[in-house]
Amino acid sequence: MRNWIVRFMEGRHGVDHYSRFLSIAACVLLVLSLLLDVVLLWYLALFLLLYSYFRMFSRNTAKRQAENRKYLTVSYAVTSKFRSKKQRLQQKKNYRFFPCPGCKAVMRVPKGKGKIEITCPKCGEKFVRKS
């Protein structure tokens, strides 16, 4: 039985981050479709599940790797945004954050230093804020 599976999966793409995400999303949609009693969600979940299996069993590994790379780029962009927000919340007690009026880059300044002149390291713009 195990040899059969190994032989069957030879040359196929297998599981990657994107197909794992699709499977989890399908499970979440399945639960939501049961809770909310919406048939459309069930079909969407079924589609996602079939698509994730199609990706796992696909022999076109180059295309599947490109899709996975695209997914990883997008997921990194989304999670890094949340990560930076979380870091800012954790540092809120000791630092203040100011966006640069020139380039909108956010700068971190220690709290309680009075009125200070801040120089943007990105564009060199100077502005005064109370820290």
Nearer to Zn ion, 44 or 107 (CB): 107
Least distance (Å) between residue 76 CB and Zn ion: 24
For residue 63 the two structure tokens come to 């295309």
Nearer to Zn ion, 15 or 123 (CB): 123
Footprint of Zn ion on 38-77 (CB under 5 A) = none
Footprint of Zn ion on 89-118 (CB under 5 A) = 100, 102-103, 105
How far is CA 84 from each of CA 1, 107, 109, 118, rounded to the nearest angstrom?
48, 12, 16, 21
Structural element, H or E, at residue 127: strand 126-130
By the criterion CB under 5 A, which residues form the site for Zn ion?
100, 102-103, 105, 120, 122-123, 125
